[in-house]
Each structure stands twice: as C-alpha cells, then as structure tokens.
A and B are shown apart, each in its own frame.
Chain A
C-alpha cells in the first residue's frame, strides 16, 4: 500500500520542480527588471522549492527499505536547493534595505548551496536513470554517484571561495622593471599628500588589451586611496563630456573640481611606448592637480647651458631638465641680467644657474647673495674650468671649488674611446640627505654620472650647514694639467662633487642651496640615465621644500634597446630557427638508434 502511494508521483518530479525553482530565481535575478514582477517570481520560485522538498519528504516516508538511503540523499540535496532559493529571496530583501555586504554574503551562500544541491540531485537522478532497465536500483551505486556529485560541487564551491580569497588578498611579487605594474613611491607620495580625493577614470572598452595592461597599475593606486572607475566612452557619454574625453583609450584624473585627461590609445602596439612612461605621466598630472604652482627662474645670458646650445645652433641641451621642472607644476621663467642686477624677483621659489661660462657682474652676484641670505633657494651647477665669477656666492654658502677636473684611471664610462673618457666618472656614494634620498636607498644599483666634474670643499669658519651629498669613487684624482693621467703632484682619493647647504634665518625659512661641481649632470644626455633623472627630481623637491613627497624609485638600468647588427641578426635568425631544432632532431635520432641497438643485448 505504502509503496503504491509512494509511486503516485514520479520519483524524479521533486528534482525537476527544484530545477524549475532555480530557473525562476535566475529569471528574477538576471532577466526581469527589478520590481513587483521579479518579486512575485521569486516568491513563486520559493513556493516551488518548498513543494519539491515536501514531495521528496513524502516519497521518503513511503519509500521501501532498500531505497530509503537514496531517497534520503535526494531529500538532503533538495533541502540544499531550497535553502539556496531562500537565501536568494533574503538577498533580495537585503538589497531593498541597501545592505550591500549582507546581500553579497547571502548571494554567495545562495549560489553555493543551490549549486551543491542541484549537482548532487542531478548526479542521483542520472544514476537512477542509467539503471532504469535493471530489476532493482543498486542503492550503493546511486549513493556513490550522488556522493561524487556532492564532492565535485563542494570542491568547485571551495575552489571558487579560495580564488575569491586569493583575489581579495591581492599578493604579488613584482619582478618587472619597466612595466607600469605598480606606481612609484613618488606617485604614491603625491597621491597620499593630496588634500583632495583623487579619482581615476579609465575610458576603455572592456575587452581592450591596453586596459588589461593598465589594470595592475591603477588597482595599486586604488589600494593606496584613489578611486578607480572604468567606463566606456560610448556608453558613459555624459561623464566623458564632463571630462572633455571624446574617445576611448583615455585616462582621466579628477581632483576636486579640476581634472586632467590624456590619451594612451586603444591600439596596443601604439600604446606600448606610452605605457612604459605611464608612471611619469600619472605623476606629472598628479603634481598638476595636487601641488600649488611655484615659480622657478633660470638665469641666462651668462653662457648657461641653454644659451650655449642656442649660440652654437644646437638643440637645447637642457630641455629635458626644464621639462622636469615644469612636470612638477612649476612655472619656468628666465631671469635676465638687467632684472638680476636689480634684485632676484620676490616671487622666485627657486633660482637655477645651469653651467655659466661667462662672468656674472658684481651687482648680479650681490643680488644673488642677498637672495640667498634672505632665505631663497638656489640650484648651482658649475663647471670646474669655467670663469663664472660666482666665487663670492659660493663663499656665502661656505664652499670653495678645488682647481682641476676629477678623473679616474680605472672606473669610468667609455664613450669617445679616448683618454678624455677618464673624466666620465660616476658616484655610488650618497648620504641620507633628502636631495639624494632615493639614490641612497638604491646606491648599489644607482650610479650618478658626471662628465668633467670638479671638486668642492668646505670653507673654515662658515655658519652654513653643509652636507656633501655625493662623493667620488676611491682613488679618483684631481687632474690639474688636463692630461687625464694621475701625476705624482695631483691629489687623489675621495672628493665631494655635490653639496647641500642650509643657512638658518631668524625671520624666514632656512636658505636651501644645492651646489654641484658639474653642469653636465643634468643635461639631456645624462638625464637619460635613471639615477641622474632621479637626482634631478629629488633635488628639485628638496629645494622647493617638498621633499616629503619623495621621488620615484630608480629602475634598474637594464631597460635597454636590443642592439642590432647585420651579422648578429643573421646569426640569431639561423641559430634560433634552424640550429637549435636541428640539434634536437639529431639528438633524437641518435638516442633512438642507440636504444634500438641496446635492446637485443
């Protein structure tokens, strides 16, 4: 009697109803618009799940002894599905209450429970169906199949959770040196020091390969406190219009009421070059938004580096340095001798004297001394053999140049393949002073390059606080007769090339001056070297009293172009295309022949 009552409904019907309930949830969650219809659908789905469970319960009650275990598994699986549907409904209520975290948690639990229940029930039904011609269902086999389904589904859910956790943890080891996978310390420092909230909007199509390249970098900025939003320009037209963006492939930076946008492009090959300099681009824009604009004066008409290039009809050899100054949101103005003769302008935040080769007039020097004594900031880049007439200014700073040019007989960079290369020296010895902070952090990797540099020494009885920030390598010599050889009468040892000077003021901030006995250190040629670029950034930030913003981490100097020669290219081509595969093939033939010969023995 009980068995026949148990067979009033087909055994698979509760499972089918549970799947209908899940379909209803999917319909309400993904396809129907939020509102009454979706709510009704969810409630109907919940009712169907309850009905399926009740039917399975009745079947269990009336099941013969041999089938009870399998029927029990079916009830358990459908209970899981029912719980999942219930959690879906609860997640819908959480959405109404705007409890986002609770909703996410409920949704995750709902998906996990209903997935495990559905797979287990499906495995059970498939196993029963496979045995439909058998006189009796093999309970053991059915249990194994459902157990397998449950294990697989639970394993999958566990893997999803582990993946989710790993993704949230976001641990990574960055071994790249030029890829924009993480922002530099300088960029992060600028971001953190910003009083305004910073938001990045990336206008890209979702599947753009350039966006994939950018993600790591901007997610790291997001982790440091910025907001990040990815938008398709075609879909978010109003936002794009507000930010003056008219095509995808554009990055926008918003800081309060101000914004900056620049194009990277959507074509991966074209964007590649810009991606390498992404951090610089972001840092420059951040500086534009976060720093107040300062005024930097460059003296001219004393044979300074830019003047010399203009006179000789060559491109400006100090153009890049000017660009670096501007990139930190500084206004660059030129200080004419006439103006300098009166006084240094009051709005000057920094005065730069870059490698003068002609004498400053006494009243110009007097103006500079007054500026320095009044708490100004000065960057002085002097060549050792130049007649600039700035010795009194140096004396005010408590410094004096030593006669001669620094050279090293063993440790120098080769450039012209002549003896003069001995004057192309470098420093890896830095202090902890903020003007060389980053170089000091990575001193074993960073070599600051100088060409025809001089040496500085501290004057006795000076009130200036002098820190020599960069020293030469050991056994450097001061070449006084310009033969690039170390003669007996020439001093050798360690020499100071750069000095940071502070002069305390009673009623103003302390004077800051950085004196480098070489003007090439910041010319365009040497600024292609990362440590020199770093030095420029650190020095400027210290002189402009922004050293807390730090500077970029120096990349290892290994991002170099592949060198091509015709012979080498040919060797590469034939070697890599034919030689290596042919070697493998010959080795294979040899090995197999050897193995065949060995077999009979």
Chain B
C-alpha cells in the first residue's frame, strides 16, 4: 500500500502547489455562500428546513468540485507527456488508480470541511441537532466519493482534461436524472432505474438526517465499480502501450 499513499500524497500536494487550487475552492465557496444566502436564508424557515436545503444544494457543489478536481488525474499526465512514466511504473493498476482517487478525495474533503461554516451559522442562529449534521456530512462525503471515482474513471479513459470533465459531468447528470427516466418506465425495470438514481432515491435521506445502509452500500458499489473500471482502462492502455 505504500506506493498508493505516495501517489495519494503527491496528488494531494499538487492541488496546493499553485494558487489555482485555492482559487477553485474560493470561487466555489463564494458561489456556494451566495446561493445559500439567496435560496435558504430569505424569509422565515425553520432550522431543519435550512439544514436540509443546505445539504441538498451542497450536493451539487460537491459534485462540481469532484468533477473539476479529478479531470486532471490521468488526462493531465497524458497532456504533459508524463503518462508513459506512470504506465511503465512497476505498480499494479489498482494502486495507481487508488492513489489518484484518494488524493482527489482528500482535496474534496478539504472543500467540504471549509464549507462547514454555513451549517455552523445555522446552529448559532437557529438550532439543529448534531445528528442531522453528521448524517448530512456522511451523505456529502459518500456522494463526493462516488463522483470522484467517476471522475477518476473518465480521466483514465480520456486524453484531454476537458473531455474527461464533460464525460464525468454527463455520467453524474445521468445518475442524477434516473428518477425522471424511471417515471417513464413501468415495472421492475423502472424500479431498477429508480434505484440507480443518486439523488432522490438515495441522497435525499442523508439531507433529512437519515443514514441508510442500502444507500451506503450502493454508493460504495459505485465507487468500487468506477475504480475497477478505471484500473481495467489503465490495463488496456498498458497493453496498447
């Protein structure tokens, strides 16, 4: 596992080597704060509603950060010409993928931690149960892990960062919109598609303060599948190389 941690640490540090990483976090925090103020703090709302709304809208920002952060994971290596070094390194593919994933996920955790002042403001000016916050953050981290894994996969598949980001955003949007598709499909297939939905079928429970085992298992499955597929994609690239 040592190479995995080395790759993870290198990736994590790379985000903070230039002001770009900080700029990305600051810009998204600014948008997040603005959206939070405009949509949730206008008019009379109970603390519970505001916290629920906060976690619901945070899911979109966390997904955006995850997509933007992971697009560079492998695609940048290809663009800068360091991919060959990576592919010929005497490491199994899964260690490379896991290292890149953990580095990006660490950065995402920093973003999530930095945005915590918003629910803390609600705590000061209203009243919320810590349990609700815990459940919400578990959900945000789980959803962030899923999107990060999908971003890692698309980055492993693409040659350009932009294409990786567009691909990841499309897959995530598709998983966010499964509920709509499920409405048009009857029977078991409709239920299966509804189950695939990331948001309404699964994430909504977290934003309401409920941690469901089925949701955690589903998210973990998606992370595993995406990382496995990324490993396979890397292996295929190695064969091609």
A→B interface (CB under 8 Å): 30, 141, 148, 152, 155-156, 159, 162-163, 166-167, 169-179, 181, 205-207, 209, 212-213, 216, 272, 276, 556, 558-564, 568-569, 572-573, 575-578, 580-582, 584-585, 587-589, 591-592, 595
Q: For the complex, what is the distance from the CA of A558 to the CA of B232, rounded to whole Å?
A: 49
Q: For the complex, what is the distance from the CA of A569 to the CA of B204, rounded to whole Å?
A: 28
Q: When the two chains form their complex, are residues B46 and A561 in contact, meaning their CB atoms are under 8 A apart?
A: yes
Point out the residue from B21, B200, B217 that lies within 8 Å of A588, measured CB to CB: B21
Q: For the complex, what is the distance from the CA of A152 to the CA of B230, rounded to whole Å?
A: 12
In angstroms, how far is the closest chain B Cβ from the Cβ of A405?
30
Q: For the complex, what is the distance from the CA of A276 to the CA of B208, rounded to whole Å?
A: 11
Query: Does B92 sit at the interface, judged by CB under 8 A?
Result: no
Q: When the two chains form their complex, are residues A174 and B179 in contact, meaning their CB atoms are under 8 A apart?
A: no
Q: For the complex, what is the distance from the CA of A577 to the CA of B47, rounded to whole Å?
A: 19
Q: When the two chains form their complex, are residues B210 and A170 in contact, meaning their CB atoms are under 8 A apart?
A: no
Q: When the two chains form their complex, are residues B46 and A580 in contact, meaning their CB atoms are under 8 A apart?
A: no
Known contacts A558-B127, A581-B26, A592-B18; A207/B180 CB under 8 A: yes
Q: When the two chains form their complex, are residues B17 and A562 in contact, meaning their CB atoms are under 8 A apart?
A: no
Contacts of B30 in A (CB 8 A): 577-578, 581
Contacts of A148 in B (CB 8 A): 232, 235
In angstroms, how far is the closest chain B Cβ from the Cβ of A65?
25
Name the interface residues of B8-22: CB closer than 8 Å to any CB of A. Answer: 16-19, 21-22
Q: When the two chains form their complex, are residues A206 and B211 in contact, meaning their CB atoms are under 8 A apart?
A: no
Point out the residue from A155, A167, A178, A584 that lies within 8 Å of B225, measured CB to CB: A155
By beta carbon, the residue of chain B nearest A235 is B186
**Can you spell out 16 A-B residue pairs with CB atoms less than 8 angstroms apart?**
A163-B195, A166-B217, A172-B210, A173-B135, A178-B48, A179-B209, A207-B182, A212-B204, A213-B208, A558-B127, A561-B45, A562-B47, A562-B126, A564-B44, A576-B118, A578-B33
B→A interface (CB under 8 Å): 16-19, 21-23, 25-27, 29-30, 33-34, 36-37, 41, 44-50, 52, 114, 117-118, 121-122, 125-129, 131-132, 134-135, 179-180, 182-183, 189-190, 194-195, 200-201, 204-205, 208-214, 216-218, 221, 224-225, 228-229, 232, 235, 239
Q: When the two chains form their complex, are residues B214 and A166 in contact, meaning their CB atoms are under 8 A apart?
A: yes
New A-B pairs, 11, CB < 8 Å, besides A155-B224, A592-B18: A175-B129, A177-B209, A206-B190, A212-B201, A213-B208, A558-B129, A564-B41, A569-B41, A575-B117, A577-B34, A581-B27
Q: When the two chains form their complex, are residues B126 and A588 in contact, meaning their CB atoms are under 8 A apart?
A: no
Q: Which of A564, A577, A578 has the most CB of B within 10 A?
A: A577
Q: When the two chains form their complex, are residues B200 and A212 in contact, meaning their CB atoms are under 8 A apart?
A: yes
Contacts of B224 in A (CB 8 A): 155, 159
Point out the residue from B49, B117, B182, B235 that lies within 8 Å of A272, measured CB to CB: B49
Point out the residue from A169, A213, A276, A562 that lies within 8 Å of B204, measured CB to CB: A213
Q: When the two chains form their complex, are residues A584 and B22 in contact, meaning their CB atoms are under 8 A apart?
A: yes
Contacts of A576 in B (CB 8 A): 33, 36-37, 117-118, 121
Q: For the complex, what is the distance from the CA of A392 to the CA of B94, rounded to whole Å?
A: 85
Q: When the two chains form their complex, are residues B239 and A159 in contact, meaning their CB atoms are under 8 A apart?
A: no
In angstroms, how far is the closest chain A Cβ from the Cβ of B85?
22
Q: For the complex, what is the distance from the CA of A191 to the CA of B216, rounded to whole Å?
A: 30
Q: When the two chains form their complex, are residues A581 and B214 in contact, meaning their CB atoms are under 8 A apart?
A: no
Contacts of B213 in A (CB 8 A): 166, 169-172
By beta carbon, the residue of chain A nearest B239 is A141
In angstroms, how far is the closest chain A Cβ from the Cβ of B45?
6
Contacts of A166 in B (CB 8 A): 213-214, 216-218
Contacts of A206 in B (CB 8 A): 182-183, 190, 194
In angstroms, how far is the closest chain A Cβ from the Cβ of B204?
6
Q: For the complex, what is the distance from the CA of A589 to the CA of B33, rounded to whole Å?
A: 21
Known contacts A159-B221, A562-B47; A212/B210 CB under 8 A: no
Contacts of B216 in A (CB 8 A): 166
Q: For the complex, what is the distance from the CA of A91 to the CA of B58, rounded to whole Å?
A: 45
Q: When the two chains form their complex, are residues B122 and A562 in contact, meaning their CB atoms are under 8 A apart?
A: yes
Q: When the two chains form their complex, are residues B37 and A181 in contact, meaning their CB atoms are under 8 A apart?
A: no
Q: For the complex, what is the distance from the CA of A559 to the CA of B47, rounded to whole Å?
A: 6
Q: For the complex, what is the distance from the CA of A588 to the CA of B26, rounded to whole Å?
A: 9
Contacts of A562 in B (CB 8 A): 41, 44-47, 50, 122, 125-126
Q: When the two chains form their complex, are residues B125 and A580 in contact, meaning their CB atoms are under 8 A apart?
A: no
Q: When the two chains form their complex, are residues B33 and A577 in contact, meaning their CB atoms are under 8 A apart?
A: yes
Closest 8 CB pairs of A and B: A588-B22, A176-B209, A175-B131, A207-B183, A166-B217, A576-B33, A581-B30, A206-B183
Contacts of A561 in B (CB 8 A): 44-47, 126
Q: When the two chains form their complex, are residues B48 and A177 in contact, meaning their CB atoms are under 8 A apart?
A: yes
Known contacts A207-B179, A561-B47, A562-B122; A167/B214 CB under 8 A: yes
Contacts of A162 in B (CB 8 A): 217, 221
Point out the residue from A207, A559, A577, A585 that lies within 8 Å of B46, measured CB to CB: A559
Contacts of B217 in A (CB 8 A): 162-163, 166
Q: When the two chains form their complex, are residues B208 and A181 in contact, meaning their CB atoms are under 8 A apart?
A: yes
By beta carbon, the residue of chain B nearest A571 is B121
Contacts of B201 in A (CB 8 A): 212
Contacts of A159 in B (CB 8 A): 221, 224-225
Contacts of A175 in B (CB 8 A): 129, 131-132, 134-135, 209-211
Q: When the two chains form their complex, are residues B221 and A163 in contact, meaning their CB atoms are under 8 A apart?
A: yes
In angstroms, how far is the closest chain A Cβ from the Cβ of B20?
9
Q: For the complex, what is the distance from the CA of A82 to the CA of B133, rounded to whole Å?
A: 51
In angstroms, how far is the closest chain B Cβ from the Cβ of A562?
4
Contacts of B49 in A (CB 8 A): 272
Q: When the two chains form their complex, are residues A589 and B126 in contact, meaning their CB atoms are under 8 A apart?
A: no
Contacts of A209 in B (CB 8 A): 200
Contacts of B195 in A (CB 8 A): 163, 167
Contacts of B118 in A (CB 8 A): 576
Point out the residue from B128, B179, B182 that lies within 8 Å of A558, measured CB to CB: B128
Q: For the complex, what is the distance from the CA of A546 to the CA of B34, rounded to whole Å?
A: 52
Known contacts A152-B232, A162-B221, A561-B44; A172/B205 CB under 8 A: yes
Q: Which of B122, B134, B205, B232 has the most CB of A within 10 A?
A: B205
Q: Which of A30, A558, A582 has the most CB of B within 10 A?
A: A558
Q: For the complex, what is the distance from the CA of A592 to the CA of B190, rounded to whole Å?
A: 51
Q: When the two chains form their complex, are residues B228 and A176 in contact, meaning their CB atoms are under 8 A apart?
A: no
Q: For the complex, what is the distance from the CA of A193 to the CA of B129, rounded to whole Å?
A: 32
Q: For the complex, what is the distance from the CA of A212 to the CA of B205, rounded to whole Å?
A: 9
Known contacts A148-B232, A560-B126, A577-B34; A179/B17 CB under 8 A: no
Known contacts A148-B232, A578-B30; A170/B214 CB under 8 A: yes
Point out the residue from B37, B45, B189 that lies within 8 Å of A577, measured CB to CB: B37
Q: For the complex, what is the distance from the CA of A171 to the CA of B200, rounded to whole Å?
A: 18
In angstroms, how far is the closest chain B Cβ from the Cβ of A12?
20
Q: For the complex, what is the distance from the CA of A459 to the CA of B20, rounded to whole Å?
A: 80
In angstroms, how far is the closest chain A Cβ from the Cβ of B231?
10
By beta carbon, the residue of chain A nearest B37 is A573
Q: For the complex, what is the distance from the CA of A152 to the CA of B30, rounded to whole Å?
A: 41
Contacts of A176 in B (CB 8 A): 48, 129, 131-132, 135, 208-210
